[in-house]
Amino acid sequence: EGRDGCAEGADQGAREGCMTRQRVIRPSGLVGFVDCARRWAASHMADELTEAGYALRERPELHIGAAVGSGVHAAAAWTLETKRDTGGLGSENEAEDRAIDEFEQRAAEEGLHFDETTANVGAAKQQIARMVRSYRIHIAPVVEPRLVETRLEADIGGGWRLSGQGDVLAGDPKADVRDIKTGNRKRANGAQYGAYTLIFQAHGFNATGVIEDFIPRVRLRDEQPAPTSTQIDVQVAQAEAVAAMQDIQRSVAEFERRLAAGEPMPETALRANPASQLCSARFCRAWGTRFCRAHLST
C-alpha cells in the first residue's frame, strides 16, 4: 500500500485498509504509554500517523541518559555472555571498550542532548566507565546468565504481538530474571517486567521473580553509588502489563474507527497527559502538532 493511503481526502476503504496491519507491543513501551498514550503513539505508530495525514516533529536527539545507558548495557551484556561461556567476567578493559563503542555509535547515529548530570561527551565516557565497573563489582558476580538478550514473542490476539528483549535480561527464566536500569533517578517499570514474564510463560517458562538492578548516573564530582537491586512482585507487574496492553489495543482500535469514519480529532482516542514531565518538544514528536495540542489547554 502507499504511504499516503490514509492521508486527508482518502476514501473510507483506503483509510480502513492502511490501518489493518500486524502490530507489535514492546514491553519497554508500556510505561511510556501509561504516562502518555499520545506520545507513545507518536513514537510507536509514526508511519501510520504520517499516512493518516499527521505531520510529526523531527525525531529529537538522543538524551544523554539513554546514550550512557546503552553503553552500560552493552558492557554488561558482554560481561554476562562471557561469564555464561567461560565462567569468568572477562577483561574489564574490553567491557569498557564495548561500552564506549556502543555509546559513540548511538551518538553518531542520533546526536546527543546533554543535561546537568552529564554536560559533555568526556563526562559521559567517564560516567560509563565507572558505572560499568560498579556493575562488574556488585552485580555480575551474583548473576547466573542462562538467558542474555534473548528476544521472544507472543501472540496476544487481535493482530497484536508482544515482543520483548531486555537490554540485559539475564538469569533463569524458570526462576529469577534480572534487568539493568540506569539513570539519574529510579523509575517504576513494573509493567515492563510483567510483560517480560508473560512472554516467558507463553514459551513454557515460569519466571517466579524479577530483580531490577539500578545503576545511578551521577555527576562526576560525586562518588559513584553502588547499584540497588529491587525485587519486583510478578503478579502485580503482570496485572499492570495486561491492563496497559488492553488499553493500547482499545485506544488504537478506537483511533482507527474514528479515523475511518472521518470523525473530527480522532487523535483524542489516544489520551494525552500534558502534566507529564516529558510533555515538551524535547521529548515528544507530537507536541505542538495537529496530533497533540493538549498542552495548550493547561
The phi and psi torsions of 62 (rounded to 5 degrees) equal -70, 130
With 0-12 / 13-18 / 19 or more C-beta atoms within 10 angstroms meaning exposed / middle / buried, residue 20 is exposed
Identify whether the C-beta of residue 267 lies closer than 8 Å to the C-beta of residue 292. Answer: yes
The helix (run of H) or strand (run of E) holding residue 41 is helix 37-44
Out of 73-77, 144-148, 160-164, 175-179, least confident range = 144-148
CA torsion, points 141, 98, 284, 184, in degrees to nearest 10? 40
Mean of the pLDDT values across residues 46-65? 95
DSSP 8-state class, residue 292: B
pTM for the model stands at 0.86
**Residues 60-108: tens digit of each pLDDT:** 999 999 999 999 999 999 999 999 999 999 999 999 999 999 999 999 9
Identify whether the C-beta of residue 95 lies closer than 8 Å to the C-beta of residue 75. Answer: yes
What average pLDDT is seen over the chain? 89
CA distances from 174 to 191, 200, 210 (A): 19, 9, 11
**Residues 170-229: tens digit of each pLDDT:** 666 666 788 899 999 999 999 999 998 898 888 887 778 889 999 999 999 999 999 999
Confidence of residue 10 (pLDDT cuts 50, 70, 90): very low
